[in-house]
């Protein structure tokens, strides 16, 4: 792929000449020069400025669509040549929910790097909603999500079972409660993940099965990460709902205590999400490793 094309893709994906320059380690005037030359070659204006922001023109959008296909073909070419020489190459961009990225796949990523050190691996972390948006917009190759909702433009593969559990801090007034009923659960002060997370979607579905809503709970605060919730529990007389995968260390240290809620099932699947159509070889290599991993 021509260097001017790579510069164009960087500007188009950042919608910023300065950010593209930082990403490519070149000067901003050099970025502007490459874009002007590309526009001259194509006899088309690719970007338009509105105020302090730039946007793709219709020609720019068409150019971006085709160059992304070409970029994928180059990556496939690198991979196939690498396979012939037993040296896998290319780029793989993975997006994962915060729970998965922090507690589930670090070991898999390390193993993948050890086996395929010439594949440039990138991991992006956010909640499941935003990770799927990144996948739809072509910013990542694979999304690893924890919510159950499905989009027609994506296909899904289950790779691991998970369960949300009710927990409290070991110093909490509720720490000695081994089991509670739903009426207790409704009344106890509770801290939850932010809306849009896979955790919140699972909670909504489980509550609906019991004719309840999140609004029926005594929610004190929403926090943006499981780590924030665990830290919050250290000085909080209340409960939280977190992935069982995220609290193994705390359970061993006995800083967090599990509480069973009668008739409340909070199981879910961690899933691989992919765009419909062909899947790049680097992505397939990672999926095979992830699916066969002994968690």
Model pLDDT, residue 200: 79
Cβ–Cβ < 8 Å for 85, 116: no
Look at residues 258, 147, 161, 241 and name the one whose alpha carbon lies nearest to residue 193: 241
C-alpha span between 95 and 138 (Å, rounded):
11
What pLDDT is stored for residue 127 in this prediction?
A: 86
CATH number of 1-85: 1.10.10.10
Instruction: State how far the Cα of 57 lies from the Cα of 38, in Å rounded to an integer.
Output: 14
Contact 131, 143 (CB under 8 A): yes
Query: Partners of 100 in the beta sheet?
Result: none
Domain locations along the chain? 1-85, 163-267
**Integer Cα distance of 75 and 72 in angstroms:** 5
Residue ranges of the chain with pLDDT lower than 50?
Answer: none
Please write the tens of the pLDDT for every residue from 124-163. Answer: 998 888 999 999 988 999 999 987 778 888 999 999 999 9
Q: How many CB atoms lie within 10 A of CB 124?
A: 15
Q: Are 10 and 23 in contact (CB under 8 A)?
A: yes
pLDDT of residue 286: 94
DSSP assignment, residue 194?
A: P
Measured in whole angstroms, the distance separating CA 173 from the mean position of its chain's CA atoms is 35
Q: How far apart are CA 235 and CA 172, in angstroms?
A: 8
102-132 pLDDT per residue, tens: 999 999 999 999 988 989 999 999 888 899 9
Cβ pair 229, 189 in contact under 8 A: no
What pLDDT was estimated at residue 196? 66
pTM over 0.95: no
Give the other-Cβ count within 10 Å of 233's Cβ. 25
Does the 163-267 domain belong in CATH 3.40.50.300? no
Residue 290: per-residue pLDDT: 92
Q: What residue spans of the chain are helical by DSSP H?
A: 3-14, 17-24, 28-42, 58-84, 98-103, 106-115, 128-136, 182-187, 198-208, 226-233, 248-253, 281-292
How many residues comprise the chain? 295
Domains 1-85 and 163-267 share a fold: no
- What pLDDT, on a 0 to 100 scale, did the predictor assign at position 120? 92
Return the residue matching tokens 């050890």: 114
């Amino acid at each position: 792929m021509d260097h001017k094309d790579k510069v164009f893709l960087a500007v188009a994906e950042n919608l910023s000449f300065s950010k593209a320059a930082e990403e490519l380690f070149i000067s901003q005037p050099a970025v502007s020069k490459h874009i002007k030359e590309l526009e001259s070659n194509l006899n088309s204006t690719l970007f338009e400025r509105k105020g302090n922001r730039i946007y793709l023109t219709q020609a720019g959008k068409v150019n971006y669509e085709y160059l992304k296909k070409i970029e994928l073909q180059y990556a496939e070419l690198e991979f196939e040549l690498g396979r012939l020489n037993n040296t896998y190459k290319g780029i793989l961009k993975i997006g994962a929910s915060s729970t998965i990225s922090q507690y589930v796949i670090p070991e898999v990523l390390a193993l993948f790097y050890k086996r395929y050190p010439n594949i440039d691996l990138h991991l992006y972390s956010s909640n499941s909603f935003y990770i799927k948006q990144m996948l739809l917009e072509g910013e990542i190759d694979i999304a690893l999500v924890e919510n159950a909702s499905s989009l027609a433009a994506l296909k899904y593969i289950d790779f691991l079972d998970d369960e949300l559990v009710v927990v409290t801090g070991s110093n909490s007034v509720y720490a000695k409660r081994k089991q509670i009923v739903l009426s207790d659960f409704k009344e106890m002060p509770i801290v939850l993940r932010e809306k849009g997370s896979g955790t919140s979607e699972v909670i909504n579905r489980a509550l609906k099965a019991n004719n309840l809503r999140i609004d029926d709970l005594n929610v004190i605060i929403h926090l943006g990460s499981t780590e924030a919730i665990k830290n919050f529990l250290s000085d909080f007389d209340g409960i939280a709902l977190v992935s069982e995968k995220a609290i193994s260390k705390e359970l061993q240290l006995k800083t967090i205590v599990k509480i069973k809620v009668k008739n409340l099932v909070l199981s879910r699947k961690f899933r691989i999400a992919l765009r419909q159509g062909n899947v790049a070889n680097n992505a397939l290599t990672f999926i095979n490793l992830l699916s066969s991993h002994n968690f």
